[in-house]
Amino acid sequence: MLYYLFEYLNKTMDVPGAGVFQYITFRSALALMLSLLLSTIYGKRIINFLRKQQVGETVRELGLAGQNEKAGTPTMGGLIIIFATLIPVLLFARLHNIYIVLLIVTTLWMGTIGFVDDYIKIFKKDKEGLKGKFKVIGQVGLGIIVGAVLYFNPAVTVRTDTGYSESFKATNTTVVLPAPVEEKSTATTIPFIKNNEFDYAEILAWTGEGYEKWAWLIFIPVVIFIITAVSNGANLTDGIDGLAAGTSAISVLALGIFTFVSGNIIFSNYLNIMYIPNSGEMTVFISAFVGALIGFLWYNSYPASVFMGDTGSLTIGGIIAVLAIAVRKEILIVLFCGIFLAENASVVIQVFYFKYTKKRFGEGRRIFLMAPLHHHYQKKGYHESKIVTRFWIVAVMLAILSIVTLKLR
């Protein structure tokens, strides 16, 4: 909202300094600072409110050291992340931008699903929370909305060839940027490969002429799968103090770099990557989101004063998934969300192997001492802080590797 106020002041009253609000970098910096202040200062008040309402975590008996001590710790702390993200976004972002609208919808949608799940666990005394099928229905519903908007909305376009390199070589002194020719496309980026765009529509090429108009049959299911997988991965990662918030902040920072360069015609030309008009505005949202996650860590680091609950974890996963899809880097989720992938995979492998060995040998066997993966290391005797720190280090390495794909092909 402040963006529109200062735009008005700049255009109609020529107020000195008002024009600075047109710069994404300036508004992103303000969003980051405000979200940090909100999450750290007002986060304490939210925690005290949750404690007064007896919104405490009911911890299942898993046989882990120090586990029972966490019983009663306030949960639903994801509300801190949501509020500290949305308030700066509403103040500093261009709210008519389609990507900002999608991210706000995603935050509220997934936050509501997580809130209902936490509410049932706490106030209805049902440890299972919201039934799994209803969670999946909610995730699929969001996937349909995001996929349909990105496919059908005319404001969502891409340009893979800007002509910058050729014009620069021709003049040698003056940078000439031709008028962009933007088009609807379901193209995405394949890492480590030169000329690395892949169009989902090509999967239907065998159907003959006009296959492009049916690309949504591939694109929307892919979006649904990614949103469901990443949100569940974030949910599984939220098992020990600071793990989900810290690894998510690292992943989102990496995504922020991709978002900024993909939405900037000069940087996208220089790096020879897909130019996505208007996507740079997501940098403001990302800055607010990162600030909220880091501020939340102030209270969620070991020993945690608050847990994010499904209110936070499902929201985090949904936002990361939509960001990756919007900036056409969903294949890179394997890298910058490698921790989520490992946590997800450990559960799938554990369940599959247990069922397989039970059917074949008459008794179920396990690969991990406990799944998800972080519980395996707890069972081996590692302290929570050591596990979290090492997972963060791995997340940083994966984030760097994902950023390197901008040039390494």
Q: Which residues are annotated as a binding site?
A: 235, 310
Cross-strand pairs, 188 = 198
List % helix, strand, coil for the chain (3-state, nearest 5).
70, 5, 30
- Cis before 372 (ω within 30): yes
Helices (H) and strands (E) in the chain, counts: 16, 2
Q: Are 250 and 155 in contact (CB under 8 A)?
A: no
CA distance 27 to 13: 21
Annotated binding-site ranges for Mg(2+): 235, 310
Q: How far apart are the first and last CA of the chain?
A: 41
Q: Give the closest residue to 202 by CA, choosing from 217, 212, 192.
A: 212
Q: Are 129 and 311 in contact (CB under 8 A)?
A: no
Q: Are 231 and 107 in contact (CB under 8 A)?
A: no
